[in-house]
Structure formats: C-alpha cells, structure tokens
Amino acid sequence: MDGPVARLEALLADLRVAGSDHRSVEAKTARSDLPATISDTLSAFANTDGGVILLGVKESPGSFEVTGVEDPRHVTSALQAAAEQMEPPLRPAIDIVAHPSGIVVMAQVPPVPRDQRPCHRRSDGPHSSSFVRVGDGDHQLTDHEVAVMLANRAPVDTGRAPAPQGAVLDGEAVTKFVAAIRESSRRAADVDEQEILYRYGVVSGDRTELTLAGLLTLGQHPESFLDAARVSLRRQPTAEDPPGTRHDAIKVEGTVGELLDGVISGLGARLGHVQVERDGQILDELDVPRETLREVVSNALTHRSFADGAKDESVLVEITPEAVTVTSPGGLHVTADPRQLGIDPIAGVRNHTLVRISEHLRTPSGARVVEHQALGIARADRACHVNGTMPALFVDLPTRFCVVMLRHSLDPAPARRILTDAGLDPTPVAVRIISVLLRLDDAKASASSELGPPIFDARLCARALAPCTLEDASSELKALETTGILRRSHLRRTPTWLLAVPTPPPSGTGTLPVAATVAAKTDRIDDLIQALIDGPSQGLTPLEIQRALGLASTNARYRWLHRATERGLIEPSSDRPYDRTKKFRLTAKGRGYASRLQRPGSQTR
C-alpha cells in the first residue's frame, strides 16, 4: 500500500495508540451520508490548526475500524457543499481512499487566516455556528469569544485611541522620554517637545489630546483610569504550605515600565532557585530564567489587546509549584503565528504606537522596557537552554494568549539512561531532546482540555536547542528516529515526535498494580478504575496509571484520564495545569461504578 492508503493507515495506527479521536483528526462512520455535525467540525478545524476528517471509519473504545461509505461520490459532493457554505468558504483537499476494508473519504481541512476568523456557517452567522477544537471535540464559541475574535480582525492601532477624560502626562517621564528620542536621532535634536510627543503618538489631534498609549507609558497614575495599567500577580499554595493557606496575591499598578519592574520583583521574591554552571562557575538562578520572565512579561504588557471586550482586563501572572503562566487579554495578534514564535521574527505588531514609545523607555530600575524587539523570544529560549530549563509553551485561545513557563531544571539522568540502555552515545543534544520530551510527557496528562496536551515538533525542538535552525532540529529528530528512540506521529499537518521506548521509572519506585486482561480489552475505563481500586488510598499519578494499564503512549494515557474525568468517575487532587505531583482518585460516582468491578480481597477506596 502506498499514497493515500499508506497515509490513512498511518493515521489509524496513531489514533489507535491515542485511544480516541484527536485534536486534529475526527473519524465518523458516515455510511450513507454526512454526519449532522459536519459543519461544526469544519468550523472547529478551520478556527484552530486545521485537521483531517475521516468518513467511513468507526470509532469504538480504543479502536478504529474501516467500515467504508456506500456512495463515496455523494458523500464527497455533500462535504464539498458543506465546506462551500462556510464563511469564509473552505477548500478541503479530499481523497477517496480505496482501503481493503472499504472506501474512506479523507479530507484535509486547512486553518483559515487569523484575520478571517471565526469561520462559521454563513446562513447561521458567527455567534450561532463558530466552533474551536478542544481536546477531541468541537467546542462552540461563546458570544464574548466571537466578539473578541471579530474585533481582532481589524488591524487597528487601538493605542492611538483617546485616553479617558482627566488623564494627564507625567512631566518628569516626558522629559526623560524626549531626551532619549533626541539622543537616539539627530533629526530630532532640534524638534520641539510637543512635536516629538505628537510624532510618537503620545498625543494626537491638536497635539494636546493624550492617547491610550501615551497614558500607559508616560501618564500620571494610569491605574486610576485603566484596568490595563494593573497586573494581577498571585501564587497558589504549595504542598509545603500549612492547611488553609490562601493565595498570595498582589496588584502591581502604574505605567508599563513600573508594571514590568513590579512584576519581575514580585516573581523574584516568590520563585525558587536552581544552580547553573556557566563558564566554570556555579551560579544561583531563578527556576525560570530572569531573562525569559522579563521578555514574556514585557510582551504581555505591550502586545496585549485593547479592543472592546479585552481593554478592561488586566494581564494575569500566576505562580504554581509547576509553572509561571502569563495570560494576555485578547489572544495573539492576527498577523502572528504561534507556531513560529521564537523561530521567525514577529510578522506584525498589534500596538505599534505603544511598542514604538516603549522602545525608548526605561523602567524605574533602569532596564529597557522593550529589548531585542523581534528577537526577544529567541534570546529567552537561549537562556532556558543555558539554564537547563524548558522553553516556554504557547497556548493561543480565542480570548487570551497564555505563555506557560515550566519551572525547575530538567533532570538529565533518565535521558542518559534511555540512550545508554539503547547502546547510544548520550550527547548533550540527544540528552536535551529526550529530557524535554520526558518533561512534556509529565505535563500531558495534567494539562486541561482547554490547554490541550503540549506537542513536540521540530519547532519546539529548535527552540529547546536555541540557537538552532529548524533544519538542524529536524535532522536531529530524524537521527533519533532512525535509532528507534523516537517515533513519528502523523496526526497533525506537520510531524510530531514521541518517545518510542519505555520511560525509566523514578528511582525508588516500587512495583505498581497491573490491571487484568490488558491485552484483551480495548475499553480501558474498567482497567483504570480497577488500578485505582488496587492502588494506594491517596490515588495514582498519571505516570503510575500509565504503567498500571500497560500503555505505551502518553497520548493514550491522556485520553483515558480525560474520558474517565469527563464521566465523573475520577478526579484530580489538583486543578493546576502541568502539576507533576497530581494524583487521580475515585469520585463517589466512581466508587459506585467500582463496586461491580471488585475482585475478591480488593477494597474500594
């Protein structure tokens, strides 16, 4: 088999490993006609990262069977008509695949440009028929999410909008700003102060009307007029905190420069430290590199949305034991591609006026507000590589953009053990790649459905090895695939990579219970419940569950945990994303379900 048949077989093999539909693949029986929800799936794929629709494939628990379609020409024609009825119209690439078990209609749905989203059924309008892909399902957008996406379509520099009435400039800040402009440009040396402010968009109209960007950068007490001049910084309690400990939360207020200094200071006081060897010296660093923190927070403050529906929201910085997450209101700018962040320079800037002013500002501590414009993420990735930590993960959602910086240095020992056991040389590059993959595996089962499981592709590999080109990263991944250490997944438009060897157990880990009839069953819910019955009373971690069920794939682990949680049978000990210490335990409903599964001598907890 070759061509489309081989592509279909590869997709089915990956789906069987995953155990269910995937974020980018939807399988439907469609024996004689299209599913009623086909427009929802077309919209969801178009508004996310694209995806593949398989018609003539039946999903049963943990398995995918080719059942075929009776009239492939009719189904293909109906699918093309449904795609044409979307706004904007979609042009999926459709193949009629003659599989030995039946005819399958396979359609590759492309993502629509970000400035044309949300894609929806033309007859129903955007508020009634716009969807995004969440986990393995189609999630309808709320009116608020649709409004924000529509507002983001227009390339309007909202920073030039008038500031609220009563807002005024800070004279000292203006003097420093004008001096910086004159120092950086000979042409501005003899230009009047008010003219400079006008040219840079601090004021507009008759040169006395303060702009939103001017207030946020050079205004007096902008927090009195705008929620955008505040940042919420909160730290969730840790396992070491006494019972009843509340969130450690503060509000940072002021201009963009004051916000940046305040947030970095607050993070420095609340994060842990790691020891880093650099130039033969052992240095004490934050468990997320300071350069990375500064770049991410600066981007959040200057590139966030000020459109209707987002301008009254603040940037949120949240610290958990596992990660620092920075959330910007309004989602990523339509000209930016989240997959290319850190790989290519930023294609466009949402708040041109705000960024242009900020490039000439310094914070109260003397640091630049905007540094290394367009190359900042690449430098932040390099800092993570040097410090042995994870590169930041980007999560693009309809109404907000999240940057997740996993804390703590990566442990290279398990990666070295995997390479050594395979008879391979544990080179620094190979160790770094496998260490990042192992850390992502830990994060997958604990990621919320909304965030989705993080993926490892050539782009993330290049960022993990920064400075590194996409071509060099692809070569390293292919070399590890050749050795059998990695395997390629075909569930997305571009290849992603997974470990193809068992994860070494942590030192000191004892033998875990193994569910019965692992090989004979395809529905693993019962096995999952039985593993929790047989396990310790406090529950099992995702990795312990994976081993108890004999699952080879972390994707499969994620799917079965997600399904059992959605059915209300199990619950996590923590709702924090990417919590490495999270354990799953039976709910009251799960204990009732478990009562019929108990073996002699077992006890439901």
Query: Same CATH fold, 525-594 and 410-504?
Result: yes
Residue 176, CA atoms < 13 Å, CB-side half-sphere: 19
- Residue found by looking up tokens 């003219």 in the block: 195
How do residues 535-588 score in pLDDT, each as one tens digit? 898 899 887 888 888 876 666 677 788 788 878 899 888 766 666 678 899 998
Can you give the pLDDT at residue 424? 93
How far does CA 473 lie from the centroid of its chain? 20
Q: Can you tell me whether residue 384 is helix, strand or coil?
A: helix
Say how far apart CA 475 and CA 478 lie, in whole Å: 5
Cβ atoms 237, 245 nearer than 8 A: yes
- pLDDT-based confidence at 509, cuts 50/70/90? very low
- Alpha helices by DSSP H, listed for 253-351, are 256-270, 290-303
**Whether pLDDT at 154 is above 80:** no
**Whether pLDDT at 396 is above 90:** no
How do residues 218-267 score in pLDDT, each as one tens digit? 999 999 999 999 999 999 876 666 766 667 889 999 999 999 999 999 99
- pLDDT-based confidence at 510, cuts 50/70/90? very low
Can you give the pLDDT at residue 519? 34
Say how far apart CA 159 and CA 355 lie, in whole Å: 9
State the chain's maximal CA–CA distance in angstroms: 91
Q: What is the three-state SS of 119-168?
A: CEECCCCHHHHEEEEECCEEEECCHHHHHHHHHHHCCCCHHHCECCCCCC
- pLDDT-based confidence at 512, cuts 50/70/90? very low
Most confident of 251-265, 278-292, 497-511: 251-265
Can you give the pLDDT at residue 445? 60
Q: Which residue has the higher pLDDT, 557 or 374?
A: 557
Say how far apart CA 285 and CA 304 lie, in whole Å: 28
CATH topology of domain 410-504: Arc Repressor Mutant, subunit A (1.10.10)
Say how far apart CA 480 and CA 284 lie, in whole Å: 33
> Is the torsion defined by CA of 479, 485, 490, 494 positive or negative?
negative
Match domain 525-594 to its CATH number in 3.50.50.60, 3.40.80.10, 1.10.10.10, 1.10.3720.10: 1.10.10.10
Say how far apart CA 512 and CA 548 lie, in whole Å: 6
- Can you read off the two tokens belonging to residue 411? 């442990």
Q: Can you tell me whether residue 389 is helix, strand or coil?
A: coil
Q: Which residue has the higher pLDDT, 185 or 80?
A: 80
Cis peptide before 453 (omega within 30 of 0): no
For the chain, the structural domain boundaries read 4-141, 143-381, 410-504, 525-594
Can you give the pLDDT at residue 507? 47
CA-CA-CA-CA dihedral for 484, 486, 489, 493, to nearest 10: -120
Cβ atoms 229, 255 nearer than 8 A: yes
Q: Which residue has the higher pLDDT, 466 or 566?
A: 466
Can you give the pLDDT at residue 447? 60
Most confident of 49-63, 81-95, 130-144, 365-379: 81-95
How do residues 263-280 score in pLDDT, each as one tens digit? 999 999 999 888 777 777
How do residues 165-178 score in pLDDT, each as one tens digit? 999 999 999 999 99
Instruction: Average the pLDDT over 190-205 and give the result.
Output: 92
Can you give the pLDDT at residue 557? 75
Q: Please state the pTM of the whole predicted model.
A: 0.82
**Whether pLDDT at 471 is above 90:** yes
Can you give the pLDDT at residue 520? 35
Q: Mean pLDDT score of the chain, rounded to an integer?
A: 86
**Whether pLDDT at 215 is above 60:** yes
Strand partners, 394: 403
How do residues 62-85 score in pLDDT, each as one tens digit? 678 999 999 999 999 999 999 999
Can you give the pLDDT at residue 188? 84
Can you give the pLDDT at residue 516? 33
Q: Strands across the sheet with 25-28, in order?
A: 25-28, 51-55, 102-109, 93-99
Helix pair 542-549, 525-534: axis angle to 10 deg: 110
Cβ atoms 548, 512 nearer than 8 A: yes
Q: Which residue has the higher pLDDT, 259 or 157?
A: 259
Length of the chain: 605
User: In the CATH scheme, what is the code of domain 4-141?
Assistant: 3.30.950.30
Cβ atoms 551, 518 nearer than 8 A: no
**Whether pLDDT at 313 is above 60:** yes
